[in-house]
Amino acid sequence: MPNPLEEWYMQLPLFTRIYTTGIVVLTLAIQLEWASPLTLFYTYHAVFVQNEYWRLLTTFLFLGTFSLDWILNIYFIVRYCRDLEEGSYLNRPADFAWTVLLMCTTLLVISPYLGTVFLGDLLVSSLTYMWSRHYSYLFINFMGLFTTSAAYLPWVLVAFSSVVENRWPVVDLAAIGVGHVFWFLAEEWPRRAESGGVRVLRAPRVLCKIMHQDLDDELDQDAEQEPAVAVDGDIAEPTVGSELPSAEPPVQHETTTNPVHHETTTSEKHSNSDESTNQDFASTSAVEHTDPSSTLHQRTPYSHTLAEHD
């Protein structure tokens, strides 16, 4: 009989499973004093001068020691990353991994300006924001206090952490900004007319082959998106078996005449003119159809130290 915990673990999507495992293993190593947080945080000098390249990874894996905040962070990673992988990025594991990689790179670049050396909380906040935009139609209960739309979850978390920790939420807002940029590039930009239907965050072919992501479906999808009708900057997505509306102006049917010349009187010409006018008016008349608490950022003394480890 399979172990329920093992069965649940193996059912997690690839990135969620790997990321969660890395966080748990690193936290255990710190708890058992096999590793020190001073060797895990990111600084430019430690990585590129002292050649301690593992810090590029461990800075995103450290979420503090075992605590309630740590458990909540793990819950959000498992919940939101899993929803993204199994929903918006279904059958596109390489695209999701590539998006997260670029997101981590952006956080590494801006971290010196934010004065923070542990970036795990920021990554969780950015992923939470992406989830809230993809699932904005959902409603969630915040700590049993009130119910709000998923679209407002990141802002509720920012306000909550600011009140509890009595600080300005500069770091939290930066994480939300990063999440918004990548959500826009991944979902909104390809739908705009000026983008030409090109996905900026599409994973490289090498990564797609490694993660067994099929490229044929994406190529066919891009080919179908080309002749789209722009409405307020959006590209109408064609459905299977449907034809795009023609951009040509409607054809106006002209009254054909017999090549044989008929001699008619003036009264007959007027009567024929009135009849043709009534027919044109009738033919052009038509009816138009219209169509838990969240990432309470672990502000341990480790996350505030800027000391470099020799």
Residues forming beta bridges with residue 142, ordered by sequence position: 146
pLDDT for res 106: 95
Residue 216: the pLDDT is 56
- What residue segments make up the domains of the chain, in order of their start? 4-223
pLDDT band at 308 (very low <50, low <70, confident <90, very high): very low
The number of residues in the chain equals 310
Mean pLDDT of all residues in 101-128: 92
CA 128-134-135 angle, to 5 degrees, is 85
pLDDT of 275-296, one tens digit each? 444 444 444 433 333 344 433 3
Mean of the per-residue pLDDT values for the chain?
A: 74
The answer to which of 93-97, 240-244, 276-280 has the lowest mean pLDDT is: 240-244
Model pTM?
0.67
Residue 173 scores a pLDDT above 90: yes
Own/partner long-range contacts of 231-237 (Cβ < 8 Å, ≥24 apart):
233/192, 233/193, 233/194, 234/191, 234/192, 234/193, 235/190, 235/191, 235/192, 235/193, 235/195, 235/197, 237/191
Tens of pLDDT, residue by residue over 135-170, are 888 888 877 777 888 888 889 888 888 888 778 888
For the record, the structure tokens of 266 come out as 């003036």
Mean pLDDT of the 208-224 span: 64
The band of 2, judged by pLDDT with boundaries at 50, 70 and 90, is: low
4-223: what fold?
Answer: Rhomboid-like fold (1.20.1540)
Interval 224-240 mean pLDDT? 41
